[in-house]
Amino acid sequence: MKKILGILAISLLISCSKDEIKKEVVKDCNCNRVVEVLTVNIVNGNGTVGVTKLYRYTTINDCTGLQRDSSWSTQSVSKGQCK
C-alpha cells in the first residue's frame, strides 16, 4: 500500500508543472524605435574651439516593420528611443 501511494505521489508531482507565465507585449504602433545611431564630430575650422556633433539614425516600426533612415541632424538621439 505504501508503495502504491509513493508511486501515485511521484506521478502526481511529475504530472504537475508550473503554468507558463505568458507576458503579452503591447506594441506601440505610433513608435518608430531607434535601432541604430551614427554620430560624427565636426571640428570647427574657423579659428574657434569647438566641435559640432551630428547624428543620423535608423528607426523601425514594430507593428508594420517599416524601416526608415533619418537625415543628418544636431538633435541628440539614443538607441531604443521612440521617434
Give, for all 83 residues of the chain, the pLDDT tens digit: 777 777 767 776 666 555 566 677 778 889 999 999 999 988 877 666 678 899 999 999 989 999 999 999 999 999 999 98
Q: Is 60 exposed, middle or buried (0-12, 13-18, 19+ CB in 10 A)?
A: middle
